[in-house]
Structure 1
């Protein structure tokens, strides 16, 4: 027999990381009508009227509120579309995103 040892083969499976999640945040302002904010939350984020109302009231009382958590691309798209909906109607409605910790 030969002097070389036979090494067993090992299968290395690549591990993929989960994408980092981002929060969509609603910022309060004193000019956008509450009904409009509720409408945008329902249309863009799929919230029920009751959920949207609670998010809007929380943002009103605390200054801002996390609406939902998504992957970065989805969060940025939804925040941009919701902000643009407010701007199209002449309101300073603002949604931003930030990484979840």
Structure 2
């Protein structure tokens, strides 16, 4: 009896890679007694690209509840938005605070 050998073969194993979604962070504005409502609306329009209607509604929500979510972003973008808001507030001499928290 003659044994049959398979020709030399190679097995290629492909690993399935999963792309993880980045962690998301909420960017919030905090109400204070000194920053004008007009400036808050301006920030929401320029930094967060809200329409005048959205910005005004969110400004009122921040004013009434003490804080409001301006958007949800990846870490680097959220960090940049917080820094931009705080730089604008300092430039205009307002104590407006902006922070980010993990979603």
TM-score by length of 2: 0.87
> What pairs up with 1:7-86 in 2 under 5 angstroms?
9-86=12-89
Alignment root-mean-square deviation, CA: 1.7
Partner Cα separation in structure 1 for residue 56 and residue 86 of structure 2: 17
1:98 to 2:101 alignment? yes
Moved over 3 A (4+): 6-10
CA distance in 1, matches of 2:79, 2:70: 13
Q: Which entry has the higher C-alpha Rg, 1 or 2?
A: 2
SS of the aligned residue for 1:70 comes to strand
Gaps of 5+ in 2: none
